[in-house]
Amino acid sequence: MEIRVLVIEDEQKMADLIKRGLEEEGMSVDVAGDGESGLEAGKSNEYEMIVLDLGLPGRNGVEIARELRAASIRTPILILTANDSTEMKVRGLDSGADDYLTKPFAFAELLARIRALHRRTTTDDVTRLQIGDLTLNLINRRVTRAGVEVQLTGKEFELLKCFMLHPDEVLSREILSEKVWEGSFDRLTNVIDVYINYLRNKIDRNFEPRLIDTVRGRGYLFRTPLSPSRQVAESKAS
Ligand code: CA
């Protein structure tokens, strides 16, 4: 799965460097240039990782981390600090951050920390998938959209799970038949389309935005919706 990273960093050069480097590793990166917009974007809960500079104008990184945790945001936070003092590191970790890195750092080190944190949190927390306002619980098989419980049959559930594990990827009917039906594609092609319709009726018809797109001639794509705050962060970054 693609790792979505939010970088909260006021130094444009540093932010650009991190963004470019992580994108080269296949991650998707949004940048917030100050604490306030970083906090808003972080609260949207659309990230697997937050890289947070401690020295920010206005509200500093310690306050931002504390507020995110107070808002029940459990996204792992890696803090960056220009200050090598033990006190700063302790304050950062006390605020709810998971790890820290002292500036200047080698990019490889940043990457290694992000990968390790991501591994740790994804293996701890594989019970629930969430994309936008849609959640799927792998243990009790409960599915909700915008807080409303959605009743799915076994195959519909497996199909949705497959989409949520591969967001923003075009999944061909061949791939879906392998992953969900474990069967021969020729026999299943119409069955897949019928099930996509069932699923759309349940998770998309009465909600905005639509999550399942048809990609003509190629298959289907489960689209990650952009939250308003993420759009703001993206337009600021561009
Ligand atoms: Ca700074």
Summarised one tens digit per residue, pLDDT across range 174-201 is: 889 888 887 766 777 788 999 999 999 9
Q: What's the pLDDT score for residue 207? A: 92
Inter-residue contact 51 to 18 (CB < 8 Å): yes
- Provide the residue range defining the domain that includes 181: 128-225
Contact indicator for 109, 117 with CB cutoff of 8 Å: no
Does residue 96 sit in the same domain as residue 118?
Answer: yes
Instruction: Indicate the residue type of 60.
Output: N
The tally of domains found in the chain comes to: 2
Q: What is the Å distance from ligand 1's center to 60 Cα?
A: 9
Report pLDDT for 30: 96
pLDDT at 229: 47
Radius of gyration for the alpha carbons in the chain, expressed in angstroms and rounded: 20
Residue 53: inside a domain, yes or no? yes
8 in the same domain as 104 = yes
Q: What percent of the chain has a predicted confidence (pLDDT) above 90?
A: 54
User: How many angstroms separate the alpha carbon of residue 51 from the centre of ligand 1?
Assistant: 12
CA of 78 from ligand 1 middle (Å) equals: 14
Would you tell me the crossing angle of helices 185-203 and 154-165 to the nearest 10 degrees? 90
CA of 71 to the centre of ligand 1 (A): 23
Same domain, 107 and 148: no
Buried b (16+ CB within 10 A) or exposed e, 153-188: eeebbbbbbbbbebbeeebebebbbebbbeeeeeeb
Whether 82 and 102 map to the same domain: the answer is: yes
What is each CA distance from 235 to 10, 188, 209, in whole angstroms?
Answer: 15, 42, 20
Q: Are the C-beta atoms of residues 110 and 18 closer than 8 Å to each other?
A: yes
Question: Mean pLDDT of all residues in the chain?
Answer: 86
CA distance linking residue 222 with residue 201, whole number of Å: 15
The rounded Å distance from CA 118 to ligand 1 centre is 24
pLDDT over 70, % of the chain = 89
Question: Residue 62's pLDDT band (boundaries 50, 70, 90)?
Answer: very high
Contact (Cβ atoms closer than 8 angstroms) between residue 160 and residue 199: yes
> CATH number for the domain including 53?
3.40.50.2300
Whether 57 and 159 map to the same domain: the answer is no
158 and 57 within one domain: no
- For ligand 1, the distance from its centroid to the CA atom of residue 57, given in whole angstroms, is 8
Residue 167: inside a domain:
yes
CA of 56 to the centre of ligand 1 (A): 5
- Give the pTM: 0.54
Distance separating alpha carbons of residues 55 and 81, to the nearest angstrom: 7
Q: What does the pLDDT read at residue 20?
A: 96
CA of 55 to the centre of ligand 1 (A): 4
Residue 228 has pLDDT above 60, yes or no: no
pLDDT in tens, 105-161: 999 999 999 988 887 766 555 677 888 889 998 877 889 999 899 999 988 999 999
> Of the spans 45-59, 77-91, 195-209, which averages the highest pLDDT?
195-209
- How many angstroms separate the CA atoms of 82 and 97, rounded? 16
What is the 58 CA–ligand 1 centroid distance (Å)? Answer: 11
Q: Last residue of a domain, which of 89, 122, 155?
A: 122
Find the 11 Cα to ligand 1 centroid distance in Å. Answer: 6
Quote the tokens at residue 15.
């932010």
111 vs 237, which has greater pLDDT?
111
Q: How confident is the model at residue 1 (pLDDT cuts 50, 70, 90)?
A: low
In a domain, 234, yes or no: no
In a domain, 231, yes or no: no
Give me ligand 1 centre to Cα 184, in Å: 55
Residues 23 and 29 sit within 8 Å (Cβ to Cβ): yes
Residues 109 and 142 occupy one common structural domain: no
